[in-house]
Amino acid sequence: MRIRWLNRCTDLIVTITIAMSGFYLALMNNAYAHQEPKQPNVLLIVADDLGFNDLGFFGSEISTPNLDSLAKQGVVLTHFYTAPTCSPTRAMLLSGTDNHIAGMGVMEEGFPPEFEGKPGYEGYLNFSVAALPELFKDAGYRTYMTGKWHLGQEESNGPTARGFEKSYALMDAGAGAFNNKLRLFGDGEANYREGKTKIEKLPKDFYSTKFYTETMINYIDNERDTGKPFFAYLAYTAPHWPLQAPRASIEKYRGKYDQGYDVLTEQRIKNLQALGFISKDVPVYPQLLGEKPWRELDPEEQRRQARTMEIYAAMVDDLDQYIGKVVTYLKESKQYDNTVIVFMSDNGPEGNDISAYFPWMPEWLEKCCNNEFDNLGNADSYTWLGPNWARASSAPLRMFKGYTSEGGLRTPAFFHYPKKFNAQTNNKSFVSVKDVMPTLLELANIKHPGAGNYKGRKVVAMQGDSLVPMLINGNKSIDRKLNYTGWELYDYRALRSGDWKIYYSPIAAAEPLVKVKKWQLFNLADDPTEMMDLADKHPKKLAEMLELWGTYVKENGVIEPID
């Protein structure tokens, strides 16, 4: 009897011990899963068509407290350069090399037949480059993407094919902000994919900025127990046209722009000067040819123009609010301190007349949309910023999106990582979007394969340089592999070396001070708005720059258009 009792006691002790051991192991595993990974998380945020001075920390009247706070604790790059339009910039961002090498020598939406089959002109992020998310995935990172892809329409060249484990992407150049899938161009519906699956219907309450943010937070949070760091690419479509936002967001800015775009330009300039971002003797680039001063618009024109800017401001405000929600989530989940946050815009503001690009656009707008005043900003409306508000948005710089002048290439950007970076609110070093990839790889201790084989294919080396010495040590310059940076898109050309820049425009359009199909030379240290052409005064410097241009064309496979 006693032996049987002892055996039962022994069995009970063993059972309790096993149970306690399991409970202890579960606790340990759970604790381990929520430990911060040794490598930093990365949150890469890209705004779409946001102008140089559109954020509060640059003196804008638009409310952007969350971005302002991140910027003030980070390294603000006041001379950050992209490509002149979106998909070439994104190709450079995710490859670390020139867009002509990475597959976006021209944009998919405007593909001249003479480029068909040419290397670097595939119209998608090609496989001659090792893509940034691929390398993060190889290194054990969780890789997520929400928002605008614009680097290929098919599953075979979409986010999943380039290293993103989870993605919810607009494949096109843009779309309406709500759930009706309004296309950017013509009939049909915008193209969305979740992973490899085409999306037939968007959620009923879809608002792009809100949806991309919340989906990204869910992606990060749902797999947090893995203990792995994340690489998150949050590629917003705001404030790209068509300009649309919730009515409450628009109402916040009612009346804010009734004084017009000329007054706004002057005020933005004064604010930039007061904050020390530009000197007080820098002139603003002149008003475009054929555009009216605000005082010459009739009351109805002024009313519609003011509403357009109200919608744009609402989109920027919402962008900031939802970025704030990501930051709040990271703080509450104890991931904020170990997360590198990079913010940038993909190019300057959209100042072109969209309807002038396509002869069929006015007729299509009549059919697709309701652009009566009271409906502007709703899901079935379609409008864009226009040249005068864009001039204010990029002031004091020359022109805007699509141009290889400063207003098309220079955008707001900052790196945020207080754990390692000391705040620098006005770092004036020249920085290229090509530098982002090598910087993030170094921070994560990930090696690029260089020029050679990668996963059974030949890839090119990165052209960009790591900014880590500047970000951590405050270095004012970077030891660069190349002493120049070039740009070309649809025969708009530019090249910068040191403070010198050459610029070439194939057409006049409405651009003041341009010399069509003739190179202009500027010294950006003295003339950041590119108003003083020095080509005739410094012919030797022009010849030197043109020699570099020839090198750029040859090394990057640039095809100079016939027409």
What three-state secondary structure class fits 128?
coil
Burial of 78 (0-12, 13-18, 19+ CB in 10 A): buried
What's the rounded Cα separation, in Å, for the pair 510 and 504? 15
Instruction: Say if CB 381 and CB 304 are below 8 A apart.
Output: no
240 in active site: no
Closest CA to 384 of 243, 209, 178, 176: 243
Among 9, 34, 79, 86, the one annotated catalytic = 86
Phi, psi (degrees; rounded to nearest 5) at 356: -75, -20
Element containing residue 233 per DSSP (H, E): strand 230-235
Among 100, 150, 240, 416, the one annotated catalytic = 150
Closest CA to 128 of 479, 418, 460: 460
What's the rounded Cα separation, in Å, for the pair 459 and 95? 10
CA-to-CA separations, 287 to 50, 166, 246, 291, 399, in angstroms, rounded: 20, 45, 31, 7, 9
Query: Which tokens hold the place of 329?
Result: 């989530």
What's the rounded Cα separation, in Å, for the pair 209 and 45? 12
Please report the sign of the dihedral spanned by the C-alpha atoms of residue 150, residue 155, residue 160, residue 162.
Answer: negative
Render 491-527 in DSSP notation, one character per residue.
TEEEEEETTEEEEEBS--TT-TT--BTS-EEEETTT-
150 in active site: yes
What's the rounded Cα separation, in Å, for the pair 74 and 361? 43
Residues labelled catalytic: 86, 150
